[in-house]
Amino acid sequence: MPLSANRYLDIAPEVSRALRDGEPVVALESTIISHGMPHPENVEMALRVERTVRDSGAVPATIAILGGRLKAGLTTDEIRRFGERGQAIIKTSRRDIPFVVSRGEDGATTVAASMIVAAMAGIRVFATGGIGGVHRGVNETMDISADLEELARTDVAVVCAGVKSVLDIGRTLEYLETKGVPVVGYCTDDLPAFFSASSSFRVDYRADTPADIAAALQAKRDMGLSGGMVIANPIPDAHALDSGEIDAVIADAIADMEELGVTGKDTTPFLLARIAERTEGRSLDANIELVVNNARLAAEIAAALSTQQ
């Protein structure tokens, strides 16, 4: 971390102690709280995810920007504040960080921004729901998530349920391959499709234990290979949605989005809300369960990684 970054970053005492003592730490994002789910489910989810990380042997560090300060670790009250304010908080990616910080504002960090702050703090494992990617219709819109470029440059492993199913999964994988980002399936050869446990696409490598993943991460760092790693963790079967049903719902939601002219940062929140409405809340339940599942695996990987350092 550049020395100058220290003056912008606050690491929570619990997180700081764990990092100092070589204990496992898992970073968590804040956009999923403010923009990914309605209140109060968002707060309940965030607190449950932090409990899951702790119960799995690691320390949670929810990433955000508060009053212009980069935060690695939030209090319960701060998480509640994010949940209550919701989309009034600035959705913050790499390009936004300097302005949110310099103007003393609050920012909900995306996958990309959360990776940046995690790396500044020295946190190597990050758990989220699904990563951003290449949007459908990219030939016309050129809409590609900054998450992919961050994965290419920032040394943080991202545990997720695959690429968000509202995106172009095939083109996203091609982009990651071009950037040299490995996509690893946890106990699966198929790439999970967020709400569904599998898709028609294959992962680059399969790993059947957290220790296998930790060993690859450590070898990657030891050799000085920059960039992140995608750990694709399928949603548990008990909470997965039928792929045919969810594909049809997504297609309808995208048609609504295009008709209303929703673009840019607003697309994913709009689509997730529309999908939750069309599935009568089942997609929201699935989203919560997959995030919890990812947090558990991330903690296990962080614990395995801590024994190799």
Which of the residues are catalytic? 29, 164
Burial 182-209 (b: 16+ CB within 10 A, else e): bbbbbebebbbbbbbbbbebebbeebee
Separation of alpha carbons 9 and 117, rounded Å: 8
Prior bond of 40 cis (ω within 30°): yes
User: Is residue 139 within 8 Å of 210, Cβ to Cβ?
Assistant: no
Q: How many residues does the chain have?
A: 309
Where does the chain have alpha helices with state H? 13-20, 31-34, 41-55, 76-85, 97-102, 111-121, 138-141, 146-153, 169-178, 210-222, 243-260, 267-278, 282-306
- Encoding tokens for residue 113? 């921004």
In whole angstroms, how large is the CA radius of gyration of the chain?
18
Separation of alpha carbons 36 and 129, rounded Å: 10
- Which residue in 128, 197, 130, 203 sits closest to 166, CA to CA? 130
- Dihedrals phi, psi of 301, to nearest 5 degrees: -70, -45
Separation of alpha carbons 110 and 146, rounded Å: 9
User: Is residue 177 within 8 Å of 247, Cβ to Cβ?
Assistant: no
Which residues neighbour 133 within 8 Å (Cβ) at sequence distance 6 or greater? 144, 145, 147, 148, 163, 164, 167, 168, 169, 171, 172, 175
